[in-house]
A and B are shown apart, each in its own frame.
Chain A
Amino acid sequence: MLVLKIVALEPVHGYGIAQRIQQISRDVLQVQQGSLYPALHRLEKRGWLKADWRESETGREAKFYSLTRVGRKQLEAETENWDRLAGAVALIMKTAE
């Protein structure tokens, strides 16, 4: 979901996604950067992401990932789910106090 959210903003390459995850989570999520790629490919195979090769900001060819329509729907669904779950947890935590 995190990956989808990042990709949703703009087409971005793998390195960019890794950087972004680190930035956003403020180094809380320490993932091995390499394991990001199988995940990306899985999402691509599922049709939620599409990828194309274009020139990156450094001028080299890089594989850019962007969200497909299915992916966007999926993101919305997952976001909604997450919100509901998070809301529920928050509510329980508050009520229990």
Chain B
Amino acid sequence: MFFRKKQSERQFDSEVQYHLDRAAQSYIAQGMDPQEAHRRARLEFGGAAQIQEDLRDVHHPRWLADLRQDLVYAVRTLRRSPGFLISAVATLALGIGANTAIFSLIDAVMLRPLPVRDPSGLVQLARFTDTGGSRNVSYPLFEYFRDHLSSISGAFAEMPLVNTITLGGVEENVYGDAVSGEYYSVLGLAPAAGRLLGPQDDAGPSPVAVISYAYWKRRFGLDPAAIGKTFVADRTVLTIVGVEPPGFSSIAHGRTSDFTVPLFMTEQINGGSAAWRQRWDFNLLAMMARLKPGVTVTRANAELEALFDGWRNDKAATLSGDFLRKQLLKERAAALPAAAGLNGLRNEFFEPLAVLMCIVALVLLLACANLSGLLLARASSRQREVSIRRALGAGNGRLARQFLAESMLLAALGAIVGFALAQWFSRALIAMMANGDQLDLSVSPDWRILAFTGAISLLACVAAGLAPGLNAGRSNVNPALKQVRSGGHRRLGRALVVAQLCISMTLLIGASLFIRTLVKLYSVDTGIRTEGVFMFNINTKAPFPRARALAIQTAIVDRLQSMPGVLYASAAANLPISGSPWTQSVQVESYDFRPGEDDTVAFNAVAPKFFAVTALPLLLGRDFNERDAAGSKPVAIVSQSFVRSFFGGQSPLGRHVTSANVAYEIVGVVGDAKYGSLRAAMQKTMYIPWMQREGGRPTGYDYFARIAGGDPMRVAPAMERAIPEIDSALRLRLPRTYADAIDQSTLNERMMATLGGFFGLLALMVACLGIFGIMAFQVSRRINELGVRMALGATRVNIVALVLREVAMLLIPGCAAGCIAAACLTRFAKSMLFGVTPTDPIAFALAACALAAATLAAGFLPALRASRIHPMTALRHE
């Protein structure tokens, strides 16, 4: 390019030279003096430089040359001030990186289509209770939809599994799926090796499994000999018959599924009964279907709704309980677009991610305001240069473009660094969201992420560069050249600082709301004590005799009790907070339910000493003991709320509660405990002894113990060794403290508090830098005036107060605007808050205090400097 340009210019020179020589010759021939002839020729030709310039325009369009020139110039000026370059790029990179990271997650969770054939034709057929909960369907409902819906060409049901399998003598925990026969044909997948599951596997017990490509690679190194290998899952021997195509793992983003088995096999693997297949109220399956070509989701939805209404009314007629019938009649069904898979992760993280997206957008805006301020300050120090350029004939547009080139370069650098940062940041976020479990999300850049980063970088560039550019355009040539300072950019500079304060205030308010939510959540009265409690579950790796199930359960608790340091050991089907109890309809002696009143209560099956471990106070009567076993008189302990609802002030001891044809005698009353989550309300709860519950299932209980002092986890290694001694088929699973288990239930709140706090602090820092910058600049600008004031008798305190007053002049409008903005925005996060309203005055006050303290501190340094100025030096300044 450079070479070509040089060459074309050289050619042009000789072309012109030729013209001039010939012209001169012709004059000489006319008898002119040679020198005069050359002069005359050149005169007639015109300004060579001007023509050369015109010629360049012909070959290289003006704007392109200008752009190149601007960029080269920008590189040169930026290289001269590395401090500015680093801070500007860092600010932008942080803003762009945070936005890209959050967007990557939104992309991974909600936008990325499943790697299957024509994903847009997939719908999820879901059933909703009136509270919007549960999207699963029962097996009879699945069959009913599959066989009666005319808008679909095929459907399948799916249920996730976690299992310990033994393959080649090695035990491992794997995640899998149990699916009905049409799974792969509806998805349109072809095997990478062997065969996939088909309708023939639904006909009867078919002990086969398909493994994922990733598992094939990890475990077998893509060896075709994997086909035909067998492994043991619980009590069943399964044969690997095929491998899924690469890239596919499961129908829900974030969930790995290493092996897929026929739905029919779940009852074999999990040793359960076939009840789930017949009961229409066992809603365990996720259902997806493929629409017939040309059928819209809306039409399928309309058909599904009508179909479900009929089915639901039929089933409701068979129900005896008034309350349950009403609940059932409130249920509805819907066909949801499922190109991006099942909605699980989307439901869980949609709100946090949307709020986070708003937060990081504000951070980017803040970064832009900050950068804009920096550029403006630079512009004012380059005012003389700008004036000279303007005096030499540069137009407004040309000057603005020069500034834009600089911010474009900064934005490009920021985008590159930010993109790298985003990779790291999104991985950290995924680790956080995984919450100790595994979360298999792909955040590798796809075109959506690249386009997003490009777009926000461009926006950032324009937003940050426009203000200084336009401002430069406004400035006057004359005063600037004479070094008289004009006031135009100062107003803009102050406005930018106020904007930064406003954004910081908004972010700080958000952060304090989320932090207060977390604090409130953890200080809520749960009714129990969770510290110093160790807990675990168990897993079976091989069959064990059913008859021994109850004995095994007791043996595990006894073994736990015998460990050194254990005060009380017990077990429960559901632990308060981390577990949700099941509900059953009851009839209570001497209490008549009003028609339509909720006759269900929460049920929990517990071992003796459950109340001692959880520290739930026993208010009346006795705890369960070893004599409350199968065959003896059914007994129950009820919670305080239960007593309050059904017995008023009377003692419930000796009264009976009947449920599912069993009459339980109430033998005790305990305090209320929270179930489900920290946000839940106290429920009417009824505890029954685990030995009186139908059938033994050692894997269905959480075992836990209160440990005397020290780290509760110290019991774990000994217990891990002890479990297989009870039965060689048993393994200890998920050893953890109760506190950890509760932390898992507050993932979203912790995530929002951590990230909100992080970005709030970041915003605070950026705003402080902004304040510091503008105040330092103001002080240096007003040095003469300050000198005069001191000469006239102003004290140091006066001067400091003077400067700080100016900080306050910025702070107050910034704070006020931030409050208004926050009051508008926080409403949208209402459902994520707990114990605080979106306009919680304490949160607003906390944020205001933090911002005021930080900005006054940032303004104090320049103020101190101002107060140390010697009047004489100040007056001699300039």
Give CA–CA (A33, B45) in the complex, Å: 5
Please tell me if B435 contacts chain A, counting CB pairs below 8 Å. Answer: no
Task: For B44, give the chain A residue with the smallest CB separation.
Answer: A33
Contacts of B23 in A (CB 8 A): 15, 33
Task: Considering the complex, give the chain A residue whose CB is closest to the CB of B21.
Answer: A60
In the assembled complex, how far is the CB of residue B64 from the closest CB belonging to chain A, in whole angstroms?
14
Beyond the given A37-B15, A38-B51, A45-B58, could you list 16 further A-B residue pairs with CB under 8 A, ordered by the A residue number? A13-B18, A14-B19, A15-B23, A18-B19, A32-B44, A32-B45, A32-B46, A33-B45, A35-B54, A38-B54, A38-B55, A41-B55, A56-B18, A62-B15, A62-B18, A63-B11
Q: Are A14 and B44 in contact (CB under 8 A)?
A: no
Interface pair A61/B46, CB less than 8 Å apart:
no
Q: Which residues of A contact B21 (CB under 8 A)?
A: 60
Q: Would B47 and A34 count as touching, CB distance under 8 A? A: yes
Residues of B31-88 contacting chain A, CB below 8 A: 44-48, 50-51, 54-55, 57-59
Residue from A15, A38, A42, A45 within 8 A of B19 (CB atoms) = A15
Is A95 in the interface zone, CB < 8 Å from B? no
CB contacts under 8 Å to B, within A11-59, are 13-15, 18, 32-35, 37-38, 41-42, 45, 56, 58
In the complex, the chain A residue whose C-beta lies closest to that of B26 is A19
Task: For the complex of A and B, list the 5 residue pairs with the smallest distance between their C-beta atoms, beginning with the closest.
Answer: A34-B46, A32-B46, A38-B54, A34-B45, A34-B51
18 A-B pairs with C-beta separation under 8 A:
A13-B15, A14-B15, A14-B19, A15-B23, A32-B45, A33-B23, A33-B46, A34-B45, A34-B47, A35-B54, A37-B51, A38-B51, A38-B57, A41-B59, A58-B25, A61-B14, A61-B18, A62-B15
Report which residue of B23, B46, B50 has the largest number of chain A beta carbons within 10 angstroms of its beta carbon.
B46
B18 CB to nearest chain A CB (Å): 5
The minimal Cβ–Cβ distance linking A58 to chain B, given in whole angstroms, is 7
Is B18 a contact partner of A37 (Cβ separation < 8 A)? no
Q: How many A-B contacts are there with CB distance less than 8 Å?
A: 57
B535 to chain A, nearest CB (A): 81
Q: How far apart sit A62 and B46, CA to CA, in the bound complex (Å)?
A: 20
Closest Cβ of chain B to A10, distance in Å, is 17
Which chain B positions have C-beta within 8 A of A18? Answer: 19
Task: Considering the complex, give the chain B residue whose CB is closest to the CB of A30.
Answer: B44
User: Closest Cβ of chain A: how far from B515's Cβ, in Å?
Assistant: 66
Name the B residues within 8 Å of A32 (CB-CB): 44-46
Bound complex: CA A42 to CA B57 (Å): 9
Chain B residues lying within 8 Å of A62, measured Cβ to Cβ, are 15, 18
Question: B307 on the interface (CB 8 Å rule)?
Answer: no
B contact residues around A56 at 8 Å (CB): 18
Cβ of B18: which chain A residues have Cβ within 8 Å of it? 13-15, 56, 60-63
Shortest CB distance A42–B (Å): 5
Identify which of residues 329-371 in chain B touch chain A, using a CB-to-CB cut-off of 8 Å. none
A58 and B25 alpha carbons, distance in the complex (Å): 11
Give the nearest-CB partner of A43 in chain B.
B58
Residues on A close to B: CB < 8 A? 13-15, 18, 32-35, 37-38, 41-42, 45, 56, 58, 60-63
Expressed in whole angstroms, the minimum distance between the Cβ of B458 and any Cβ of chain A is 32
Closest chain B CB from A57 CB (angstroms): 10
Instruction: Say how far A39's CB is from chain B's closest CB, in angstroms.
Output: 9
How many residues of chain B are within 8 Å of chain A by beta carbon?
23
A33 to B55, CA, bound (A): 14
Given the complex, which residues of B lie within 8 Å of A13, measured CB to CB?
Answer: 15, 18
Given A15-B22, A45-B59, A37-B44 contact (CB < 8 Å): no
Neighbouring A residues of B22 by C-beta, 8 Å: 15, 58
Q: What A residues does B11 contact at CB under 8 A?
A: 63
Alpha-carbon distance A38/B12, docked complex (angstroms): 10
Whether B19 contacts A33 by the Cβ 8 Å rule is yes
Which residues of A lie under 8 Å from residue B16 when comparing CB positions?
34, 37
B276 to chain A, nearest CB (A): 78
Residues of B within 8 A of A42 (CB): 58
Within 8 A of A (CB), among B301-315: none
Highest count of chain B CB atoms <10 Å: which of A15, A32, A34, A58: A34
Bound complex: CA A37 to CA B53 (Å): 11
Measured CB to CB, the closest approach of chain A to B5, in angstroms, equals 13
* Nearest B residue to A13, CB-CB: B18
A54–B21 Cα gap in the complex (Å)?
17
Contact B45 A41 (CB under 8 A): no
* Chain B 1-31 interface residues, beta-carbon cutoff 8 Å to A: 11-12, 14-16, 18-19, 21-23, 25
Which residues of A sit under 8 angstroms from B44, Cβ to Cβ? Answer: 32-33
Shortest CB–CB separation between residue A91 and chain B, in angstroms?
Answer: 38
**A1 to B16 Cα, complex, angstroms:** 22
Bound CA–CA A37/B48 (angstroms): 11
Quote the shortest CB–CB distance from A84 to chain B (angstroms). Answer: 30
Give the residues in chain A near B19, CB-CB below 8 Å.
14-15, 18, 33
- Closest chain A residue to B18 by CB distance? A62
Quote the shortest CB–CB distance from A5 to chain B (angstroms).
Answer: 20
Q: Are B15 and A35 in contact (CB under 8 A)?
A: no
User: B residues within 8 A CB of A45?
Assistant: 58-59
Closest B residue by C-beta to A18? B19
Name the residue of chain B whose CB is nearest to the CB of A44: B58
Q: How far is the CA of A38 from the CA of B54 in the complex (A)?
A: 6
Residue of B with least CB distance to A56: B18
Determine if A37 and B55 form an interchain contact, defined as CB atoms under 8 angstroms apart.
Answer: yes
> A34 to B17, alpha carbons, bound, how many Å?
11
* Least distance between A44 CB and chain B CB atoms (Å): 9
Give B20's nearest chain A residue, CB to CB: A15
Chain B residues lying within 8 Å of A61, measured Cβ to Cβ, are: 14, 18
A37: chain B residues at CB < 8 Å are 12, 15-16, 51, 55
| CB < 8 Å neighbour of B46 from A35, A58, A63 | A35
Q: Which residues of B contact A15 (CB under 8 A)?
A: 18-19, 22-23
- B54, closest chain A residue (CB): A38
Question: A14 CA to B17 CA in the complex, in Å?
Answer: 11
Min CB distance, A26 to chain B, in Å? 17
* Nearest chain B residue, comparing its CB with the CB of A58: B22
A34 contacts B58, C-beta separation under 8 Å:
no
**If A32-B45, A58-B22 touch, does A38 touch B15 (CB 8 Å cutoff)?**
no
**Alpha-carbon distance A34/B58, docked complex (angstroms):** 15
Closest to A17 in B: B19
The distance from the CB of A43 to the nearest CB of chain B, in whole angstroms, is 10
CA distance A14 to B696 in the complex (A): 106
Q: Chain B: which residue is nearest A31 at the CB level? A: B46
Distance between Cα atoms of A45 and B59 in the complex (Å): 8
A88 CA / B44 CA spacing, docked (Å): 36
How far apart sit A34 and B54, CA to CA, in the bound complex (Å)?
Answer: 10
A32 to B50, CA, bound (A): 12
Which residues does chain A contribute within 8 Å of B46, judged by CB atoms?
32-35
Q: How far, in Å, is A22 (CB) from chain B's closest CB?
A: 10
How far is A32 from B41 in the complex, measured between Cα atoms in Å? Answer: 11
| A33: B residues at CB distance < 8 A | 19, 23, 44-46
**How far is it, in angstroms, between the C-alpha of A18 and the C-alpha of B51 when the chains are bound?**
15
Which of chain A's residues have a CB closer than 8 A to the CB of B12? 37, 41
Q: How far is the CB of A82 from chain B (nearest CB, A)?
A: 24
Closest beta carbon of chain A to B40's beta carbon, Å: 11
Q: Which residues of B contact A63 (CB under 8 A)?
A: 11, 15, 18
A28 to B48, CA, bound (A): 24
A62–B18 alpha-carbon span in the complex (Å) = 7
Contacts of B59 on A, CB cut-off 8 Å?
41, 45
**Separation of A63 and B47 alpha carbons in the complex (Å):** 21
A18 CA / B26 CA spacing, docked (Å)? 13
Most buried by B among A13, A15, A45, A60: A15
| Residue among A32, A35, A38 having the largest count of chain B Cβ atoms under 10 Å | A38
- Give the distance to chain A from B11, nearest Cβ to Cβ, in Å: 7
- CB closest chain-B residue, reference A57: B22
CA distance A56 to B22 in the complex (A): 11
Nearest-neighbor residue (CB-CB) of A45 within chain B: B58
For A41, list chain B residues within 8 Å (CB).
Answer: 12, 55, 58-59
Residues of A within 8 A of B50 (CB): 34
B48 contact set on A, CB distance < 8 A = 34
Residues of A within 8 A of B15 (CB): 13-14, 37, 62-63
Closest chain-A Cβ to B776's Cβ sits at a distance in Å of 52
